[in-house]
Structure 1
């Protein structure tokens, strides 16, 4: 079996084999000999960060739904009928509010872009339909300003508000000595200042070297304002954030009760739970996110029902025996893993799982079914159009039948 990046089902392509494993091989498309009717761009036109940029959007969404169901069956042993109609929320393009750009070279040889598929070779972005027009227009000037510093850089991360008018940046320096790092950090801070309201410069280990300007951006979703720093995770799709918030609020159920918001971040899903009337405990292991959540909490009128615990989820479960009426979990791409069963055991009635990776979700749903949960509702969100990735919200009820 082979997997060919840049090819679509039914196409005839010329491919280069890049990796051979025992049961499969991987390769990349070199030339398309007989294109599919669902192909919309030639490979030479694709943004390196948009691995499905060549796939018609409607066809890509259908493929994501089919792949999701296949993954649930193959890994979780959960048949398609468990997931009901499985609607998928659509997103317009120019959707990203969070970006990571990689850099390679120095001075006039500096390249600002993204990694080519399955490599650490940086390729220029060119025209990327995922970026807002404002960010896309800014990148050539940002690249030129950084090139003029002569600094060695590995990454620039950005965060912008929903209108796309305000933005923060974090620049990561490459390998250099401490004294040189301080000199380069000053130069990079000065270079990025005209383009961003706040700038942080860190070394390769993430230690802060220099910062200036605003530390947080106010991001407004569903009538609430979140104060978010460039270091903190936040839902990256400007178009679907409100729907995701509303759907999780609806999934949290009635009557209102005590809710655990695991991997709570800046409080995005805490907002959904508070809107639904629940008293909420958010647990977050990232110091940056926990600080942002604390700042955000100060601005909310119902903050008395929101408790923030700066701790890993595992650490919290070890230190507190409390059970909750419901648990909302939005783990990183690696999923819950060994935390699936302990978290499930803390939920009396309901478990809402927000996932960006179907494979780890399928594994964890199988574990949760072992402690008495059954799928009651499932929804997909095309938060990452132009890529193979898909977001999902799965609602489980203790002892409930399949959807």
Structure 2
């Protein structure tokens, strides 16, 4: 977002940005409180307006040398990106600091490597909102902290195959649009074509309209169409390469957003677990790490979602060269794999959702598993669980920040631990 050039509002005043906060907004002290100013950088003098804790940027009076020209015309209105105005070096440092701060707060001293940054045009899945007003259909992303829907004309983050398909997608979704609430369309690029999963469909939408959507998607060469979690058409089974196997994701299931980021995380995990004889993958999903691990050693995988475990089993059966994969539906929050159960494993992957894995980490801390790779999507819960593991005798060798969601205030991490 270029610095606004319009004259400052009558109520505007000047602030100096102290730092960029965890949400990607500049943070400044105003009187006795901290306030947030979006699209600003540390050290900048800015004109702001508004009241409350979140102010509006009117003008950048003194730009930071780290300020960059945004890559997208929608930046500043679209809520998909928050940091396109930050130069590459400062951006990479910001992602690394997002990991460092919570670790230091928990008293964990370890090496935190430079952030690995996902390349542009590599995100292979995104959820779009679609709405109809009169005869006009809007398809795109919501504005940040807003219900406004921004019509998407370009996106430097998404894989080109998804961007190219957006005009067709508007036509496909039209029978489902009632003119009231927006619907959500999750599009995933797979090796066999685009996978479409639509949710938020009004109950009043007739079966014929749903059939029209299916037919239109088929004519547009989509591989699969799912409505509200139900597979209504599979022309070609969506497949995503995972080492020597392929993930076969169920409709709407979790996947890593970038193939390149997933490959980098898998590389770090497998290198750390080299020499493992029996591995365990906890919060396995549909097999992102399990299938790759099984190229080298037998794997036990646990995940609470039955559809994901069924997909993992199917993928393992379809790749006969793999070592045995035992997959179990198990709620690891309520029923974590206990320390005695873990005695038969010498390599462990932990890949929980944002809430982390407090109960499971407590069991691992009591175990004798010598090597653990913790894949995290939330720095705060990562630091909390690493503290538990360190208190249980583990040493954190390194933490690798992985910037999977380009130009966002979000960071993944791979933490590598050993126990003597």
TM over 0.5: yes
Q: What SS does the aligned partner of 1:169 have?
A: strand
Q: Among 291, 295, 298, which residue is 1:271 paired with?
A: 291
| Number of residue equivalences | 379
* Conserved? CA contact 1:113–1:123, under 8 Å: yes
Structure 1: stretches of 5+ with no match in the other structure: none
SS at match of 2:102: helix
1:6 aligns with 2:30: no
| Residue number among 90, 99, 107 corresponding to 1:77 in the alignment | 107
Larger Rg belongs to? 2
Q: Pairwise mapping of residues 2-401 of structure 1 onto structure 2 (< 5 A)?
A: 2-15=35-48, 25-41=53-69, 45-46=74-75, 47-74=78-105, 76-79=106-109, 82-83=110-111, 86-106=113-133, 108-147=135-174, 150-151=177-178, 153-161=182-190, 166-177=193-204, 180-195=205-220, 196-202=222-228, 206=229, 208=230, 211-214=232-235, 216-254=237-275, 256-275=276-295, 277-314=296-333, 316-317=335-336, 321-323=340-342, 324-399=345-420
Cα pair 1:349 1:397 within 8 Å, conserved: yes
Q: Is the 8 A contact 1:169 1:198 kept in 2?
A: yes
SS of equivalent to 1:73: helix
Q: Tell me by how many angstroms 1:120 deviates.
A: 3.5
SS at structure 1 position matched to 2:366? helix
Gaps of 5+ in 2: 1-33
State the TM-score, normalized to the length of structure 2: 0.81
Q: Which consecutive segments of 4 or more residues in structure 1 shift more than 6 A?
A: none
Distance 2:96 2:337 in 1: 37
| Residue 359 (structure 1) shift | 1.4
* Structure with more helix by fraction: 1
The 10-residue stretch of structure 1 (355-364 or 339-348) with the greater mean CA deviation from structure 2? 339-348
Deviation at 1:270, TM superposition (A): 1.2
Mapped partners of 2:74, 2:65: distance in 1: 17
CA 1:191 to 1:151, structure 2 compared with 1: closer, same or farther past 3 Å? farther
